[in-house]
Structure 1
Amino acid sequence: MSNDRYEFPGGIASPIDRSATKLLYVSTAKYGGDWHSLLHTHTCAELFYVVGGVGQFKVAGRMLPVAADDLVIVNPNVEHTEVSLNSSPLEYIVLGVEGLEFGPDGAADAPYEVIHFRGGGEEMLFYLRAMLREIETKAAGYEVVCQDLLEVLLIRVLRHTDFSLTVAPAGRRASKECAAVRRYIDGHFKENISLDMLAELTHINKYYMVHAFSREYGVSPINYLISRRIQESRYLLSDTDHSLSQISHMLGFSSPSYFSQSFRKLEGMSPMEYRKRRAGEHGPREGGMASDSRLSTVDSRGK
Structure 2
Amino acid sequence: MHEYFTNNSASVRSRRILYTPSTFARASLCHLQETGSLKAIHPHTSERRGLVSFLCFVVLEGSGDLSYEGREYELKAGDCAFIDCRKGYSHSTGGPSLWALQWCHFYSPSLPAIYEKYRERGGGPVFHPENTASICGTLTELYDLADSSDYIRDMRINEKLNFLLTLLMEQSWHPENCERTKKRMELTAVKDYLDEHYADKILLDELEKQFYISKYYLLKIFKETYGMTVNGYVISRRITQAKHLLRFTDMNIEEIGTAVGMDGANYFSRMFKKIEGITPREYRKQW
Tell me whether the two structures share a fold, i.e. TM-score over 0.5: no
TM-score (norm 2): 0.44
Greater CA radius of gyration, 1 or 2? 2
Structure with the bigger RCO (C-alpha within 8 Å, sep 6+) is 1
Which structure shows the higher helix fraction?
Answer: 2
- TM-score, structure 1 as length reference: 0.42
